Structure 1
Amino acid sequence: MRADAKSYQFDQLPVIDYDKHPAYGRVLPMAQLGSRLKAVVYFAYGLILAAARRLIDAEHLPRPAAGEPKLGWVLRHLPIYLRLIILQRLSRLSAGNAYQPKTERGANILAPLARDGVTGVRLAPDKLLEIRTQLAPHVAILEQQLALRPATAADAEETRLWLDPETNVELYKAFNQTAADLGVLEAASAYLKRPVGVGHLAVQINQPVEAPSEFADVGVDSSATKHFHIDTSYNLLKLVIYLGDVGAAQGPLSYLPGSQRVKGSWDGLVRRANDFAGLSATTPGARELFYALPEGWRRKASFGADLVAENDYARSILDDQWRVTSDDETAVLYDPNGIHRDGIVSAGRRVAVVIKLTELPR
C-alpha cells in the first residue's frame, strides 16, 4: 500500500531544453543541412512505425514464431492479423462498462490503479513458493545465459528470458489463473475496457551493472533520473512479481503516480518515434542526429538520462516516485504509459517475473 499521497506534479511529460544541455547544445556544433535532412528521414521512419503500431495495437497480436523473419511471417498470416484487428476494434467500440469488476478483490485493485496508474498486490507465501517452483528451470537457464555476458551489459532485454506461450501452455494457464484469483484480470480488463489475459511472460534477473556515464565523452556525469521512461507500447498493463526480497538497493519498480494521465497524444507519438528510430540513444552519433531535429521534435520516451539536476521535472520524479519494495507488496500492477523505471540494482540482485496483460487473440 502506498504510504503517502505524492504524485507527479505536471500535466505533461518532461520537456528538456537541449540547446542548454551540457551533452547536447553546449558541446555540439550547429547541424548542417545534410544532418538535418538525415535526422528528419530517421524521424519519419520512426513516426511511421510508431503510428502503425498504435493503429493496429501490435502488442495484442500474435508474435512471429522464434527464428522466423518478422515480415515474412506477418505477410503469410496477414488474413489472420486483419481478422484479429477488426474483431478487437469492434469489441472495444461496444465495451462500455461491460468489464467493471464483479468481485471486491477486483474493485479494490482497480480503484488505486485508475487513480495512480499503479497499485501493489500481495500474494500469499504459499502462492509465491509455488511460482518459484514453477519458474525454477527457467531461472536456471537465464542464470547460465547471464554468466556468459559481460558485467557492463545494461540492455534490459538481456536480463530477461521471454517464455513462448506455445511451448509453455500450462505455465501460461497457471499464471492466468493466479491473476484471475487475485482480481488482477478483472481490474486490468476494466482499466483497459477489454478482456485481457497473460499475453507475455518473462523471468528476469537484475544485478549491478558496471557502466560509465553515457555522456563520459563530454565529461558529464549520469543523471539521478537515469532509466526513467515511458514504454513505447500502448493499451496494456504490466505485472511484476518479486520472487525474493527486494529492498531499495535491489531495483524495485519506481513509479510516478498520476503520470499516466499526462496530456499530449502527439507528444507521445513523437517520443515513441524517436525511440523506434534509434534517436533516443545517448551515443555521440545518436546525440548529434537527435539534436539536428527541429526543436519541437526533440522529445524522447526514454528521457531519464537527459534530465539535469536543476530541472523541475527531475525534482518531481525524484521526490514523488513510489519505490515498491517487497516490504510494501510482493507484486505491482502498473500502466507502462506512466513514468517509471525498474530493476536498477545497486547491491545484491533481483529475481522477478514480468507479465504483460494484453487482449488475447480470439
Structure 2
Amino acid sequence: MTEAPPALTVGVTAETAPGERRVAITPETCRKLVTAGARVAIERGAGSLAGFADEAFVEAGAHLHDSADTVLDAADVLLCVRPPVPERLMRMREGAALVGLIAPDADAERSAAIRARGLHVFPLERLPRTTRAQSMDVLSSQAGMAGYKATLLAAQLAPRFFPMLTTAAGTIRPSRVLVIGAGVAGLQAIATARRLGAQVEGFDVRPETREQIESLGARFLDLGVSASGEGGYARALTDEERAEQQRRLAAHLRQVDVVISTAAVPGRPAPRILGSDMVAGMKPGSVIVDLAAESGGNCELTSPGETIEHGGVTIAGPVDLASRGALHASEMYARNVLNFVSLFIRDGQLAYDWDDELLARTVWPERAPTA
C-alpha cells in the first residue's frame, strides 16, 4: 500500500511590526484548515494581543511552538498580516508560500530575501477586485474597521459633541462632519458618524458614489468635478480640475468641524487634497483625521503616526486603526486569508492552478496563465 504524503504545514508567527495587534489566523479558521487536512503550527502568544488564547488554538487542533524559528522551519505556507522581516524570510523553507499584506516591491531587502528563498509570495493587496474575490478582499475588510475607528478617534479629539443636544443650558448644535472618499473606509466612517448623531457630508470625485453616500443618510458634497476612472478607482485630475476642486473645497471647509479623509489608491502615494492654506482657513478647534497617513497622507501637514496641532486645528495621522480593533479585524482578515489559501490547499497538499486568475494575478511576480 502506498503511503499518503505527509500533510503540509500552515504556520503563523507573532507579528513583529510596531503596534500591530492583529493575527492572520483565529481558532475558527484554524479548525477549518485542520479539517482541510493541513497541520497548523502557531507560535505561542501569536493571537494574544487580538484576544485569542493559546488554549483556543490547541482545542482547534493547532500545534504550539515556543519560538518563531521552529514555526518557520516547518511551514510550507506562512500566513501573516504584515511582512516578516528579511531575517525571518531567509529562515523560511525554500519554495514555501507566504500569504499576507507583503508589499514586496516596497523594500529591497525584503524582495531580495523572497527571491533568494524562491518563495511563492501572495501579497493580498494585489488581489483582483472581482466579484469572486470579495470573500478574500482583506483591503476592504480592514478598511471597514479603520473607518469605524477613525470616526471614534475624531469624536474623541473634537472639543464638541457630535449629536444635537437640548440641555438646560440651551441647545447644542450637531457637529458638521465631512468624510472625503467614499470607499469602504469612507462609507463606514459616514455610517458611524451618523450613528453618533453628527450632521454628515460625504465627498468623492466619483459621482457614482452619490447614491451610496445618500443611502447612509449623509449629504453628497458636489464640488462640480468628476474623476470617474476604471476599476472603481478615480482617475487623475487635470491641473485645472484640481485647482477648481481645491478652491471650492477650501471655501466649504470653513464651515466644517471635523474632516475624516480616506482617499487612497493602492500601490501609489495618497492624493494630496488638503493643503496647508486650506487648513489655515478652518475654524479653531476643528479636527482632521487622515486615514491615508501611511501612504503619505491626504493632508499636506499630516505626520504619520502622530497627532499635531496647527493654527488651532488638530491633525491626526493614525497608521494602526484596523489594529485598534484587533479582535474583529483579525476575524475578518483570517476568514479572507482562509478563503484565499483554499484556492491552492487541497486535501492537505499544495495544488497551484496558475490558470486561476486570482492566483496568477496575486502571486509576486505575476504569472501569465498557461495557454
> After TM superposition, is the score higher than 0.5?
no
TM-score (normalised: structure 1) = 0.25
Q: From the two aligned structures, give the one with the greater strand fraction.
A: 2
